[in-house]
A and B are shown apart, each in its own frame.
Chain A
């Protein structure tokens, strides 16, 4: 079976679902060309605004590390600090030289209709196939009334989206900020404004760490620091939830999703697509490893789809959405127990101490004849929480095994112990 990675994202055809997000990697033609040469399907150009260009500071990035690896980056960088006409000229050149790739123009401005329309038209004339509204930047620009200052006000999300829709005959992507309480509110505002798609998530407001010598947040600019936008694999779970919430909302059906947030490899991309995204945007993975990481994103996704019988992205898209439910719909009669494979166990004791100290005292240690320790799950005490499986350092050593208890599915609304349950006898009467 041949697999087609080609797709249509918010009405824009793309040779594959992997775009670079509007960020430092898409600031210049040099970078974007290198990305296209590496195989990226598209690039959302770094956000432009009206001249004069902004001025950035040094230093700009902070990193959150675990075991020596970066799991998250935050930044205080603003939008493109190059003159508008330089960006437009380079977009035009890329458009001409890379006709099979997608270029989306990203823009931001103060909430004045003229400013938005003028910039959108300029980007359209430069050859962009779509316009993305940057309503998410959580640092710096918001202090000037742009970025998340607009994205946090549903009225302004709707208005700016409509201004761009009215100005140009291109696909419109409204990029949402996660720094709100309910993502459905701005998503619905974007829908009302006429967006073809929402792009999410933008970065999360964060202080990445504190320099304990300087007593200032990192990245430290001289003696002080500021909050910045957080991205990278650490934010992926937050992004997945927000994407899923939009994908399963009936009122938002038809609003496409360009997913962003900690996509490091093909598996992450497949997860977002399964939750309803039409395509994905990547930044941090490229910043950490270079554009070459798209190799395995393409190869791995293609092999996964072939193996599982998905012919194209549209076929894979949204497959997991119907299985995302409210807690109230979970089956309370489902049971599963941890099982420790003795042959694989290295006797580190991590499962034991995690369960003993912080969970349900459901792992027993028995001495072995050879002086070692045998770890066994006590089924009666195990609640099937998975903690031991997560802390186990050995692949497949601890597995969760569903218990066949013969009970029918039962959700909380129907549970006999639910005081709010509808009484069958009363409803019959």
Chain B
């Protein structure tokens, strides 16, 4: 945690000025210098059949890319990363490495801390993005096939890039004005400083053969059926667009907001000071979105931020590292509590919290309650998929797919957060990549 910046704000003091806001939302980790990268790369043991590779959903050959940093082959290193994961730049910044590659790094067992794989990956990819004169991947001879993609998030863009590489032309339909999905709208600003999501999209489109049309929501503005009729295949990567509600009285009060919408507004605001923030903020939820919302509320100048979660720290889906980040930034963590009422005259002024306990494996209220004053509530209790009228089969709230990424409708494939599996950028990138190969095989089989 030592490399993490601390907030330049004082409790109860004046709201942060422009310089403080810039610092608060600047890079969470300082990037490695060339000298630091060389030292860090030398710490890698170059494991055989390395645990880090097996822990990476995109199976980046980590020992190889780190070895390439050691030998000074930075471009080759970035190529190793990007050929497995075209969004290696975002994943280097946003992956919960502490539970993936770095969590299983064998150096933990010799030095008590892992090789800084995430920062090394960022070093290599940033180097390539800053210096490469041309896109590092070439397209296969054109197949003449036209594919449609619903959603320009990590899954859709990863699919589009790989499909373009395989020689297909790809048309991406995106409801929002900017591409990148959660990379652009959902991750904490300090993880994606300097407009990285947009820069990465531009880099990715450098392969050619991909067009993005904005303002078109599949299911609202165009049906899947239409898309399927007009294209050789369709990939659905629409993610989970709708924030779940807490089903608690008073949710309609002003000041009770979706955390994901709060983060999106913050990410898109040219001037962070323009984003409204309460002085006493309560965040409800236990995932990384809850942490991102809570820490950023502090960054904006909220005097007190309390994160409320109905279970204990071990059950939180936010990693311990994320929880520590929140604590270090002055977020109060309140476990074993859930809201039962939001109160106020028009605008929220209090939230009533009920204490919970696990009894016989079931979460039950203990009967004790507490009334907490607040002027803003951010709900981060999960997201759901937008409805797809006439769409393929849904299973447990997500799109059902077979082992080859195909939905119940022939020629319509899906991946990312909209299908079952961990809701991680890195998983979405892997889904998109594999689905592109699956579609390519499907097209070849049909032509045969």
- Write the residues of chain A forming the contact surface with B, with a CB cutoff of 8 angstroms: 67-68, 346-350, 352-353, 372-373, 393-394
Contacts and interface: CB of A to CB of B under 8 A. Distances in A.
The 6 closest A-B CB pairs, nearest first, are: A349-B48, A353-B48, A346-B106, A346-B109, A348-B47, A67-B42
A277 to B, nearest CB: 34
B49 interface: yes
30 contacts: A67-B42, A68-B38, A68-B39, A68-B42, A346-B106, A346-B107, A346-B109, A346-B110, A347-B47, A347-B51, A347-B106, A348-B45, A348-B47, A348-B48, A348-B50, A348-B106, A349-B47, A349-B48, A349-B49, A349-B50, A350-B45, A350-B47, A350-B48, A352-B48, A353-B49, A372-B51, A373-B49, A393-B45, A393-B110, A394-B110
Contacts of A350: 45-48
Secondary structure at chain A's binding surface: helix, strand, loop or mixed? loop
Contacts of B107: 346
A373 B110 CA distance: 17
Contacts of B48: 348-350, 352-353
Given A348-B45, A350-B45, 4 more contacts: A68-B42, A346-B109, A349-B48, A349-B50
A372 B106 CA distance: 11
Name, among B39, B42, B45, the residue most crowded by chain A CB atoms within 10 Å (CB to CB): B45
A394 B45 CA distance: 10
Contacts of B49: 349, 353, 373
Contacts of A346: 106-107, 109-110
Nearest to B51: A347
Contacts of B38: 68
A1 to B, nearest CB: 37
B53 to A, nearest CB: 11
Interface residues of B, number: 14
A393 B109 CA distance: 11
Interface in B236-267: none
Interface in B49-80: 49-51
Nearest to B42: A67
A350 B38 CA distance: 21
Residue picked from A67, A346, A372, A373, most chain B C-beta under 10 Å: A346
Interface string B95-109: 000000000001101
Contacts of A393: 45, 110
A66 to B, nearest CB: 9
Name, among A349, A352, A372, A373, the residue most crowded by chain B CB atoms within 10 Å (CB to CB).
A349
A67 B42 CA distance: 6
Nearest to A347: B106
A348 B51 CA distance: 8
Contacts of A68: 38-39, 42
Contacts of B51: 347, 372
A346 B106 CA distance: 6
B71 to A, nearest CB: 12
A68 B69 CA distance: 13
Contacts of B109: 346
Nearest to A344: B109
A7 to B, nearest CB: 39
A350 B50 CA distance: 10
A295 B208 CA distance: 64
A418 B229 CA distance: 81
Nearest to A392: B45
Contacts of B39: 68
Which of B42, B106, B107, B109 has the most chain A CB atoms closer than 10 A to its own CB?
B106
A334 to B, nearest CB: 30
Contacts of B110: 346, 393-394
Contacts of B45: 348, 350, 393
A377 to B, nearest CB: 16
Contacts of A394: 110
Interface in B79-136: 106-107, 109-110
Contacts of A373: 49
A393 B39 CA distance: 17
A367 to B, nearest CB: 12
B311 to A, nearest CB: 25
A340 to B, nearest CB: 14
A348 B42 CA distance: 15
B93 to A, nearest CB: 27
Nearest to B47: A348
Nearest to A357: B48
A133 B177 CA distance: 82
B76 to A, nearest CB: 15
A207 B42 CA distance: 25
A351 to B, nearest CB: 9
Contacts of B46: 350
Interface in B31-50: 38-39, 42, 45-50
Nearest to B109: A346
A68 B38 CA distance: 8
B49 to A, nearest CB: 5
A323 B196 CA distance: 65
B73 to A, nearest CB: 13
Interface string B360-371: 000000000000
